[in-house]
Structure 1
Amino acid sequence: MSVIVTDTVSTRQNRSVPFRVSGSVATGSILQPLNSSMIAVAIVGIAAQFGSSSGITWVISGLYIATAVAAPMAGKLGALLGARRVYLGGLALVSLGSIVGILAPTVGWLIFSRIIVGIGTATQYPNAMTMIRGYSERYGAQPRTAITTLSVCSQSVVALGPALGGLLVGAFGWHSIMWVNLPIAALSAVMVTRFATVGSVRRVPASRRQLLRSLDLVGVLLFLVLISSTMLFLLSLTTGPAWWLLPVWALALAAFAQWERRADEPFIDVRALARNRALSATLARTLLTYAAFYCVYFGIPQWLQYSRGMSATQAGLTMLPVAGVGVLTTMLASRTYGRHGARRTLTVGTCSLLVGGVLLALVEDSTAPILVLLLVAGVLGIPNGFNNIGNQNLVSSVTSVEEVGTAIGMYRTVQYIGANLATAVLATTSGDIIGDDGLHRTGWFIAAVGFILLVGVLTSRSMGDRPRASVHPLEEKPGLSA
């Protein structure tokens, strides 16, 4: 993937993307983290209604598989058809899936609804980033503060999800985590339609055949098999490893790489990805970061309910410090990135992850005072802000405006793979019921991930010690409306 940079920074690029633009596109981006994290406190109620069958795990994993596959595709569609159009289409899918989930008579229908919601939420973040970069390049504004807004409204909301979900489930039952999507989607649609009127340059295909060729449907199908086999294998580790999926995965990987190398318009340009070491390293770092991230947000609420006897509401409220600290550190991390670059930003984030894992392993147990629990939760909120800002700004800085939607989609894909990996880790370290010993083992896993990431950040040659040079603004052209 190409990098469009300049060594000089114009005075126009000292301005930021207006909040009316970044705030409007950020409204829909909170849907994915809410739906991925609220389920942590709702799953007990869902199991009580439908029974503790193996299908319950698909209520969580179905959304991740759907979103992991759909996110890069959503970015590609946004570049072809217009980011705002695809963004709004995704909001419609979220609303449809939520209504199906509210009315679901069986766990199968609930899983289906979560898949629809997952596909819908996959469209928001990649196309929000495309619209922000489009505005940035058209008007010469720097996108860093807008990326901070996106991060606060999406990634930090993951920490808020258990608290909000706990309140909703405690007051209205598990169905409430579905109907809460409806007013958010409606509000987002109004704001994006009103304020996000400028997006990236879109390349409208001349015909339907050209559109299908540009979408690279064979590449998409192979990518679907590749990601699905990856996620399904990780999911199988919670019960019994499905070893037959490994040769399927290997064949899908080989076929996907071979096809994409030869495709005229590849879904994912694997050659450019191999050349862009900064992007490849960032995606690998993101995978490990989110594996640890979701161990915290899946593991602690369940431990609080099983081992400390808390209700869903109490468990959610105990996770509030993670959300609050995450929001504050996201803003602080944005300043750190602006002054010192990605390396120092990620160093703070990975060190905090290491310390938080050690505290979880050594301090937390079912007899610990609530103040200790809150303090540890606060420490675990620090890496949320710094790692997200460092990694997302790196993705933005090393891709062009036409590529950033697909690249951010890939970023989200590895995030969801990390979530499924976390599920497998928790099954290995804690089993079906998370007790004190299981929580401690999970803490050591998080600490080990933090140490590996820290070493990688300090020794990396693919990130600068200062922020990347500013994106060179494109000439203003008609038809930029997305």
Structure 2
Amino acid sequence: MPRTTPEPSAQKDSKAEDLPRSAKPEPELPGRFITPIAFGTILQPLNSSMIAVALVGIRSHFDAGTSVTWLVSALYLATAVAAPAMGRIADVLGPRRTSLAGLVLVGITSAAAPFAPNIAALVVCRVLIGIGTAAQYPCGVAMIRRAADQLRSRPGNALAALAICSQVTAALGPSLGGLLVGGFGWAGVFWINVPLALVGGAVIMRWGPADPPVRGGGRLKALAQVDPVGMLLFAVSITALMFWLLSLTATPEWWWLGVAVPAAALTVWWGLRARDPFLDMRLLARRGLSFTYGRTIVTYTAFYCVFYGLPQWLEETRGLGPVGAGLVVLPIAAVGAVSTLLATRLQRRRGPRAALIVGTAALCVGGLLLTVPDADSPIPLLLVISAMLGLPNGFNNMGNQSATYSATPAERMGAASGLYRTSQYVGANLAAALLALVLGVHADDAGLHRMGLAVAILAGFLLVASLLGLLRHRRA
């Protein structure tokens, strides 16, 4: 969203997202910077979605049984933990260097993964791929911030490009995965990463914003600034939390929560005492940033309920095959891309709060519409509902991204953007638990209607919070 001053103090204001627009708008960030930054960010959503069509082949190849599902969970876990860590490394060593290192890791691991001797080794490969792909979004936002500050440009179009890449590639992942599995077997969903990583590295080296010189006597010494103790405590707390959330889909394993809570308390304690902490608790104490993370968790809980629950109902109850279900939900991605562009224009005039109000209101309507279909509903009605469910994605994504961007100082942009990614995957695991509760084993009509009500309730909560925030701001 537009900034009104290059002064660092403006970026540190907790109400930065509500600053008035300048009389003479700044230009948007040039496209030569946006393309290389956005390209790398397609790897994570692509790898998270196209694996779905390869699971059957992998299960058969390794005779793996239910353990094959760890190929899905491992990537989410690795990304949730690694995104803020890689973002913090980017803050210290430079986002361009860190992004390139992540791409190298993805390329090498993906080339080796099809030769894994067993399912456990393949899961390890997915973890490494998750770490490498996790670097791309926080590094991308950090590069956008650096280029925008240097050129005194608005980041709106660049942030919109990241959002569109994420939405479109996640939706197209299963279709691309199907083509790859058909042509190359399950190994194709890994091998595709090799040319993508090579192209991504080439365009970043050619057009990506250069990193500043590493301060403090070299890269090894600079790495000591990432606060390994704080990073380890955070990794333990978020990993335990994610395992507990995953267990909610079956029998809750409460001892994971017994690990997560004290580890989180130690993370907070260390973040307040360390000289240069991995997680700056004083920064997180700002209402604008902490509320954004909480809002993102709730938003993505609703989003992933739709993302996973609606296709399940379309296949199991409506009687559509995987291809038909994929085509019915395709408008979610298409409309989401268009709404991202609309949200960018709205934010330019009204700021992130306006985008969030529109997005949460549309999500509430979309959730209520999910209470309408039954097993005999016509395809055109389902397409209309899918299109409506795509509308809130662009507004909510852009609103939350911009709020994070505005509330974070430049030197912490990588870590803050990584935590934004972590918030998304916490929401994904909460969605899995919620779906197990409302859908059960079989996604019938009643389960779909319960899911729609749950989405509408979550969206209603977000809408009330956004409206109260707007009123509070106007009274201030």
2:394 is aligned with 1:385: yes
Give the equivalent residue in structure 2 for 1:279: 289
- Give the structure 2 partner of residue 127 of structure 1: 139
Distance 2:442 2:177 in 1: 20
Candidates 312, 315, 332, aligned match of 1:322: 332
The AA in structure 2 aligned to 1:312 is P
8 Å contact 1:281–1:462 — kept in the other structure? no
Q: Which moved more, 1:1-10 or 1:125-134?
A: 1-10
**Structure 1 residues 164 and 453: CA distance shift in structure 2, 3 A:** farther
In structure 2, how many angstroms separate the alpha carbons of the residues matched to 1:354 and 1:94? 38
Quote how far apart the aligned CAs of 1:166 are.
4.5
Q: What is the DSSP-based 3-state SS (H/G/I as helix, E as strand, rest coil) of the residue aligned with 1:70? A: helix
Tell me which amino acid in the other structure corresponds to 1:333: A
- Give the SS at the match of 2:229: helix
Deviation at 1:450, TM superposition (A): 0.8
Measured in 2, the distance between the counterparts of 1:8 and 1:299 equals: 40
Following superposition, the deviation at residue 99 of structure 1 comes to 2.6
Match for residue 234 of structure 1 among 233, 242, 245: 245
Alignment of 1:442-457 (within 5 A): 442-457=451-466
- By how many angstroms is 1:144 displaced? 1.2
**Cα deviation per residue 1:89-125 (whole Å; 9 max; x = unaligned)?**
1111222332343334433223222111110111111
Q: Which of residues 284, 308, 312 is equivalent to 2:322? A: 312
Partner of 1:469: none
The one of 97, 103, 107 aligned to 2:109: 97
- Seen in structure 2, the aligned counterparts of structure 1 residues 73 and 29 have a Cα distance that, compared at 3 Å, is same
On the 8 A contact 2:89/2:223 being kept in 1, the answer is no
Scaled by the length of structure 2, what TM-score is found?
Answer: 0.90
1:86 aligns with 2:95: no
CA shift, 1:167, in A, is 4.7
Q: Secondary structure at the match of 2:154?
A: coil
In structure 1, C-alpha distance between the alignment counterparts of 2:61 and 2:315, rounded to whole Å: 18
Q: In the alignment, residue 320 of structure 1 is paired with which amino acid?
A: L
Conserved 8 A contact 1:304-1:315: yes
Q: Is the 8 A contact 2:167 2:333 kept in 1?
A: no
1:318 is displaced (CA, Å) by 2.3
Is 1:249 aligned to residue 237 of structure 2?
no
For residue 300 of structure 1, the aligned residue among 305, 310, 316 is 310
Per-residue displacement from partner, 1:370-405 (whole Å, max 9, x unpaired)?
222211111111111000111101111111221111
- Normalising by structure 1, report the TM-score: 0.89
Asked if residue 23 in structure 1 is aligned to residue 57 in structure 2, the reply is no
Distance of aligned partners of 1:8 and 1:369 in 2 relative to their CA distance in 1, 3 Å threshold: closer
Residue 475 of structure 1 corresponds to: none
Which residue matches 1:468? none
1:204 pairs with 2:215? yes
Structure 2 Cα separation of the partners of residues 235 and 416 of structure 1: 11
Per-residue deviation, residues 218-273 of structure 1 (Å, max 9, x unmatched): 10110011000110001111221101112211110111111111001100111221
Corresponding letter in the other structure for 2:398: I
CA distance in 1 between counterparts of 2:106 and 2:148 reads 28
* Cα offsets for 1:29-80 (capped at 9, x unmatched): 0111112223344445545555674423322111111111111111111121
Deviations 1:455-478 (A, max 9, x none): 11111269968xxxxxxxxxxxxx
Query: How do residues 114-263 of structure 1 correspond to structure 2 at under 5 angstroms?
Result: 114-169=126-181, 173-199=185-211, 201=212, 203-206=214-217, 210-263=221-274
Check if 1:333 corresponds to 2:333: no
Distance verdict in 2 for CA 1:410–1:147, change over 3 Å: same
Alignment pair present for 1:369 and 2:378: yes
Contact between 1:78 and 1:86, CA under 8 Å: does it hold in 2? yes
Structure 1 residues 281, 242: CA separation in 2 closer, same or farther (over 3 Å shift)?
same
SS of equivalent to 1:303? helix
Q: CA deviation at 1:168?
A: 4.2
The 1:209/1:139 distance shift into structure 2, 3 A limit, reads closer
Change (3 A) 1:368 1:171: farther
Per the alignment, do residues 45 and 238 of structure 1 end up closer, same or farther by CA in structure 2, a change over 3 Å counting?
Answer: farther
Structure 2 gaps of 5+ residues are 1-7
Contact kept? 1:213, 1:265, Cα under 8 Å? no
1:157 CA drift (Å): 2.8
- Write out per-residue CA displacement over residues 148-183 of structure 1, whole angstroms, 9 at most, x where no aligned residue: 111111234323334434454466554433222222
Is the contact made by 1:167 and 1:312 (CA closer than 8 Å) also made in structure 2? Answer: no
For residues 343 and 443 of structure 1, the distance between their equivalents in structure 2, rounded to whole angstroms, comes to 24
* Counterpart Cα distance in 2 of 1:335 and 1:464: 21
- Residue type of the partner of 1:261? L
- Aligned counterpart in structure 2 of residue 58 of structure 1, from 62, 70, 73: 70
User: In 1, distance between residues paired with 2:118 and 2:310?
Assistant: 28
| Residue 209 of structure 1, CA deviation | 6.6
The Cα of 1:435 is off from its aligned counterpart by: 3.1
1:267 to 262, 270, 278: 278
| Greater Cα offset, 76-85 or 298-307 | 298-307
Question: Which residue identity does 2:272 align to in structure 1?
Answer: R
Cα separation, 1, equivalents of 2:454 and 2:341: 28
Instruction: Quickly say closer, same or farther: Cα 1:456–1:100, change in 2 above 3 A.
Output: farther
Q: Check the 8 A contact 1:346/1:387 in 2, yes or no.
A: yes
Greater displacement, 224-233 / 242-251: 242-251
Alpha carbons 2:147, 2:209 under 8 Å: kept: no
SS at match of 1:440: helix
Q: Deviations over 1:285-343 (max 9, x none)?
A: 00011111111112222333333444433332222111110111100110011111112
Residues 95, 142 of structure 2: 8 Å contact kept: yes
Measured on the aligned residues, the alpha-carbon RMSD in Å equals: 2.4
> Whole-Å Cα distance in 2 between the matches of residues 145 and 27 of structure 1?
14
SS in 2 for 1:16: coil
Which residue of 411, 425, 439 corresponds with 2:434? 425
User: 3-state DSSP class of the match of 1:14?
Assistant: coil
The answer as to whether partners of 2:86 and 2:418 remain within 8 angstroms in 1 is: yes
- Cα distance in 2 between the residues matched to 1:150 and 1:2: 26
Distance 1:43 1:379 in 2: 30
Give the letter aligned to residue 417 of structure 2. I
Q: Contact (CA 8 Å) 2:271, 2:278: kept in 1 or not?
A: yes
Name the SS of the counterpart of 1:460 in structure 2: helix
